[in-house]
Amino acid sequence: MTKNILIPTDGSEYSKTALEYGIYIAKRLDARLTVLYGEESLDERVRSNLNRVGERCGKAGLDFQLKKVREVAGEVIVEEAKDADWVFLPQKEEQFHESRDGFLGSASEVVIGKSDRPVLVIPVSFQEIESMGLAYDGSPSADNALKIAAELSDKVRWPLSIIIITDNSDQAADLSIRIEDLLDPYEEIDSDVVILSGKAEHEIIKFIKESSVELMVMGAHGNRRFEELTLGSTTSYVMRKSTVPVLIVN
Q: Mean pLDDT over residues 86-95, rounded?
A: 74
Q: Pick from 74, 103, 122: which residue ends a domain?
A: 122
Q: What percent of the chain has pLDDT over 70?
A: 88
Q: How many independent structural domains does the chain possess?
A: 2
Q: What percent of the chain has pLDDT over 90?
A: 60
Does the pLDDT value for residue 106 go beyond 80? Answer: no
Residues 8 and 74 in one domain: yes
pLDDT of residue 104: 30
Does residue 152 lie in a domain region? yes
pLDDT class of 100 with cuts at 50, 70, 90: very low
Listed residue (31, 82, 36) closest to 61, CA to CA = 31
pLDDT of residue 41: 65
Listed residue (72, 71, 92) closest to 14, CA to CA = 92
pLDDT class of 92 with cuts at 50, 70, 90: low
Residues 145 and 110 in one domain: no
pLDDT of residue 138: 93
Q: Mean pLDDT over residues 108-115, rounded?
A: 84
Alpha helices in the chain (DSSP H): 13-29, 44-60, 74-80, 107-114, 140-156, 169-183, 200-210, 225-228, 234-241
Q: Pick from 122, 143, 168: which residue ends a domain?
A: 122
Residues 239 and 218 in one domain: yes
Does residue 82 lie in a domain region? yes
Does residue 127 lie in a domain region? no
Residues 118 and 9 in one domain: yes
Residues 118 and 138 in one domain: no
Does the pLDDT value for residue 140 go beyond 70? Answer: yes
Beta-strand relationship, 246-249 and 119-122? antiparallel
Strands of 4-9's sheet in order across: 64-69, 32-38, 4-9, 86-90, 119-122, 246-249, 215-219, 132-135, 160-165, 191-196
Q: Pick from 90, 122, 154: which residue ends a domain?
A: 122
What range defines the domain where residue 25 resides?
A: 4-122
**DSSP tag of 61:** T
Does residue 171 lie in a domain region? yes
Cα–Cα distance between 178 and 189 in angstroms, integer? 17
Residues 12 and 115 in one domain: yes
